[in-house]
Amino acid sequence: MEAYKQYWEQISQKVAALPQQSEKIELAAKWVAEALGQGGFIYTSGTGHSHIFAEEIYYRAGGFARVRPILDEALMLHKDASRSTEMERLSGYAEQLLQDFPIGPKDVFIISSNSGRNTVSIDMAMIARSAGAKVIVITNLQHSQSVASRHPSGLKLYEVADVFFDNLGEIGDAAVSIPGYPYKVGPTSTIIVTMLLQGIMVQAATLMVKNGQDPEIFSSSNADGAEAYNDGLIAKYKGVIRGL
In tens, the pLDDT along 89-100 reads 668 888 988 898
pLDDT band for position 77 (cuts 50, 70, 90): low
d(CA 237, CA 69): 13
Q: Which amino acid is at 162?
A: D
Q: pLDDT higher for 88 or 135?
A: 135
Q: Measure Cα distances from 182 to 69, 86, 205 in Å.
A: 37, 25, 44
Is 62 within a domain?
yes
Is 87 within a domain?
yes
Q: Provide mean pLDDT across the span 182-205.
A: 97
pLDDT at 86 over 70: no
The pLDDT tens digits for 206-217 are 999 999 999 999
Nearest Cα neighbor of 134 from 228, 210, 31, 47 is: 31
Is 104 within a domain?
yes
Nearest Cα neighbor of 120 from 143, 150, 154 is: 150
Read off φ and ψ for residue 136, nearest 5 degrees. Answer: -115, 120
Q: pLDDT higher for 203 or 97?
A: 203
pLDDT at 224 over 80: no
203-239 burial, b at 16+ Cβ within 10 Å, e below that, comes to bbbebbeeeeeebbbbeeeeeeeeeeebeebbeebee
Q: Structural domain tally of the chain?
A: 1
pLDDT at 76 over 70: no
Average pLDDT, rounded, for the chain: 92
Q: pLDDT higher for 82 or 192?
A: 192
Is 242 within a domain?
no
Is 115 within a domain?
yes
pLDDT at 38 over 90: yes
3-state secondary structure of 239: coil
Q: Provide mean pLDDT across the span 4-32.
A: 97
Read off φ and ψ for residue 108, nearest 5 degrees. Answer: -120, 150
pLDDT band for position 80 (cuts 50, 70, 90): low
3-state secondary structure of 119: helix
pLDDT of residue 217: 96
Q: Are 182 and 43 in contact (CB under 8 A)?
A: no
Sign of torsion over alpha carbons 69, 73, 79, 80? negative
The pLDDT tens digits for 98-109 are 898 999 999 999
The pLDDT tens digits for 110-166 are 999 999 998 889 999 999 999 999 999 999 999 999 999 999 999 999 999 999 999
The pTM (predicted TM-score) of the whole model is 0.94
Q: Are 150 and 118 in contact (CB under 8 A)?
A: yes
Is 180 within a domain?
yes
Is 59 within a domain?
yes
Task: Assign residue 98 the CATH number of its domain.
Answer: 3.40.50.10490
pLDDT band for position 75 (cuts 50, 70, 90): low
pLDDT of residue 227: 83
Would you give the DSSP letter of residue 112? E
pLDDT band for position 66 (cuts 50, 70, 90): very high
d(CA 160, CA 122): 7
Is 176 within a domain?
yes
Determine which of 43-52, 67-76, 179-188 has the lowest per-residue pLDDT on average: 67-76
**Range of the structural domain that residue 78 is part of:** 3-237
DSSP β-bridge partners for residue 68: 43
Q: Are strands 108-113 and 67-70 parallel, antiparallel or unpaired?
A: unpaired
